[in-house]
Chain A
């Protein structure tokens, strides 16, 4: 049977999410951001949240997230997305509000905003893309950069005595009584993408039910910053990032 017959007689089992903008994304080939953008688009559509969703974009590679998902967006200053989200949500609790932040945005410059929003139990979803590097500015050290990892500002590898330890911030957020659901996922295989999607769904359900802040960390790659092919970056992530940032629920949803 040829391809056209399958298309005509078969079922479409996967299509570009309806809420994704038609334009091409600016991300590098193989970037995890694209996969997470797809999942957010699918979840908001499936949960009927298109009209009430307000996304808060970060500063970092995902600064243009608002170009790609067809909902209302606010572009925040670097690190301030949880503060911005706090007001957007509190002024109208019927909104589905989420932040989309990288490791520099969330765990360096925005640490205070992140921890305090989570500690207040703001009913927002915090989507945290952790690839251990600053992608947008050219591959500098991030708070989550691994020990020994080479970046533009740690050209000989991150040294703990000089740069301190990698900041494992998600377990800190899980400790806070304000968080309802804290999980760490990845999107490097089809199975992990499906798991990540169900985690994101759970997160939006939690905040729309008013249970408190939901945090979904996605351990991700940055093939450009890591200077390896996307496929190789996935392998490197499994070998090096997962031991430091193990996947799974850090605080299951009750």
Chain B
């Protein structure tokens, strides 16, 4: 398969990108608004072409443990779900992080808490960036704003997951999952051979195959001294990721008097508000964190030096704003505007909120 320009939903783009990246296995369970990922994979039947395994599991709990099993063998495996399902996966994600396994988890967020709504939300920011499950761990969290990024972040997520032996998450909102856009699908590349996997993942429990020692994938260690060393190793990895992998985009930040910070599709809404504001003579800039963990603290900190205030816009009650506040070391107004329950604000609503907050 060559590079191809298509019109499709963000969810479908993830499925196509997975096949083209050479993913070895997908294990998932239906939940709105991301079921098209599993549906597209089943329709495409990649097991006939690339040999990719696709399986509908009996639950999200089972899906994530299939991912744990697959990742243990060095395979590139992934799952996808939406907020309530991702809550169910937290135990497994913690095990994957603790066993230092690469894997990709997609969360196309819907509004919560509880069963909540099937409509878009960004209310799993805390869960995704602050740990989610038990224990001290982090996921690399990528926040796509376009269908193109939905496709691109499959490859990026796996590349980072394998580089650092840690799970990565695509944290998308229901808007970018459901909307259709033009997307350039990358050319297909072959799946790795068992020999390539063994070379890339010498730790994998894939069968000994004449190896002198056995490989064991486990997160258990009852010797506290060793367990502390393990934790220190995890933290060194996280520190390295924080040094190397912060990604963000800035818009109009060179001359801005105010700053908006937003991720995912909300950043696109903010950009429209900012364009309108500039027509009215109000210079607002935008930072769009692309990695929510590691978070672009330094970038925001530097821009914060020369603005009068920051508005953080999210589809939640105020989650990322805590990280933005951490990035700002001086006395600067940092406000939040959010809609919840599946409501998505339009650009004018955001702009009105901005002018009200800053009394303009």
Q: Which residues of B contact A77 (CB under 8 A)?
A: 65, 68, 91-92, 95
B216 interface residue per 8 A CB criterion? yes
In the bound assembly, the distance between CA atoms of A53 and B215 in angstroms comes to 11
A116 interface residue per 8 A CB criterion? yes
B282 interface residue per 8 A CB criterion? no
In the bound assembly, the distance between CA atoms of A96 and B220 in angstroms comes to 24
Interface positions, chain A 68-103, Cβ under 8 Å from B, are: 70-77, 80, 83-88, 90-92, 95-96
Say yes or no: B68 contacts A72, CB within 8 Å: no
Given A75-B218, A92-B73 in contact, is the A86-B66 Cβ separation under 8 Å? yes
A176 interface residue per 8 A CB criterion? no
Q: Which residues of B contact A51 (CB under 8 A)?
A: 207-210
Q: Which of A63, A75, A80, A113 contacts B217 (CB 8 A)?
A: A75
Question: Inter-chain contact count A-B, CB under 8 Å?
Answer: 126
Say yes or no: B92 contacts A72, CB within 8 Å: no
Residue of A nearest to B63 (CB): A83
In the bound assembly, the distance between CA atoms of A63 and B220 in angstroms comes to 9
B150 interface residue per 8 A CB criterion? no
**Can you list 24 pairs linking A and B with CB atoms under 8 Å apart?**
A51-B208, A52-B207, A54-B207, A56-B69, A66-B218, A71-B214, A72-B207, A72-B208, A74-B69, A74-B72, A77-B91, A83-B62, A83-B69, A84-B66, A85-B69, A86-B55, A87-B25, A87-B53, A87-B55, A87-B65, A87-B70, A90-B25, A92-B194, A112-B59
Residue of B nearest to A53 (CB): B207
Q: Which residues of A contact B58 (CB under 8 A)?
A: 112-113, 116
Say yes or no: B73 contacts A80, CB within 8 Å: no
- Residue of A80, A83, A112 most packed against chain B (CB within 10 A): A83
In the bound assembly, the distance between CA atoms of A85 and B75 in angstroms comes to 14
Say yes or no: B55 contacts A80, CB within 8 Å: no
A249 interface residue per 8 A CB criterion? no
A50 interface residue per 8 A CB criterion? yes
Q: Which residues of A contact B67 (CB under 8 A)?
A: 87
Say yes or no: B214 contacts A116, CB within 8 Å: no
Say yes or no: A91 contacts B25, CB within 8 Å: yes
Say yes or no: A80 contacts B61, CB within 8 Å: yes
Give the distance to chain B from A207, nearest Cβ to Cβ, in Å: 14
Say yes or no: B69 contacts A86, CB within 8 Å: yes
Say yes or no: A88 contacts B92, CB within 8 Å: no
Interface positions, chain B 157-185, Cβ under 8 Å from A, are: none
Chain B residues in the interface with A (C-beta under 8 A): 24-25, 27, 53, 55, 57-59, 61-63, 65-70, 72-73, 75, 77, 91-92, 95, 99, 194, 205-210, 214-220
Residue of A nearest to B67 (CB): A87
In the bound assembly, the distance between CA atoms of A32 and B216 in angstroms comes to 23
Say yes or no: B206 contacts A54, CB within 8 Å: yes
Interface of A, helix, strand, loop or mixed by DSSP: mixed
Say yes or no: B66 contacts A92, CB within 8 Å: no
Further pairs besides A72-B208, A72-B215: 15, Cβ < 8 Å: A51-B210, A64-B220, A66-B216, A70-B214, A73-B205, A74-B69, A74-B205, A75-B219, A80-B62, A83-B63, A84-B68, A85-B69, A87-B68, A91-B25, A113-B62
Nearest first, the 10 A-B pairs at minimum CB distance are A84-B69, A75-B218, A87-B69, A87-B70, A80-B65, A83-B65, A72-B205, A116-B58, A87-B66, A83-B62
In the bound assembly, the distance between CA atoms of A85 and B205 in angstroms comes to 12
Q: Which residues of B contact A91 (CB under 8 A)?
A: 24-25, 53, 70, 73, 75, 77
Say yes or no: B206 contacts A83, CB within 8 Å: no
In the bound assembly, the distance between CA atoms of A73 and B205 in angstroms comes to 6
Q: Which of B66, B208, B215, B216 contacts A83 (CB 8 A)?
A: B66
In the bound assembly, the distance between CA atoms of A57 and B216 in angstroms comes to 10
Q: Which residues of B contact A64 (CB under 8 A)?
A: 220
1/0 per residue, CB under 8 A from B, across A195-230: the answer is: 000000000000000000000000000000000000
Say yes or no: A71 contacts B208, CB within 8 Å: yes
Give the distance to chain B from A124, nearest Cβ to Cβ, in Å: 11
In the bound assembly, the distance between CA atoms of A52 and B25 in angstroms comes to 19
- Residue of A75, A87, A116 most packed against chain B (CB within 10 A): A87
In the bound assembly, the distance between CA atoms of A80 and B219 in angstroms comes to 14
Say yes or no: A116 contacts B68, CB within 8 Å: no
Give the distance to chain A from B158, nearest Cβ to Cβ, in Å: 15
Q: Which residues of B contact A116 (CB under 8 A)?
A: 57-58, 62
Say yes or no: B216 contacts A54, CB within 8 Å: no
In the bound assembly, the distance between CA atoms of A26 and B96 in angstroms comes to 26
Say yes or no: A90 contacts B73, CB within 8 Å: no
Q: Which residues of B contact A52 (CB under 8 A)?
A: 207, 209
In the bound assembly, the distance between CA atoms of A54 and B209 in angstroms comes to 11
Say yes or no: B92 contacts A80, CB within 8 Å: yes
Say yes or no: A73 contacts B216, CB within 8 Å: yes
Say yes or no: B219 contacts A87, CB within 8 Å: no
Residue of A nearest to B27 (CB): A87
Residue of B nearest to A115 (CB): B58
Q: Which residues of A contact B61 (CB under 8 A)?
A: 80, 83, 112-113
Give the distance to chain B from A72, nearest Cβ to Cβ, in Å: 4
Interface positions, chain A 107-141, Cβ under 8 Å from B, are: 112-113, 116
Q: Which residues of A contact B70 (CB under 8 A)?
A: 87-88, 91
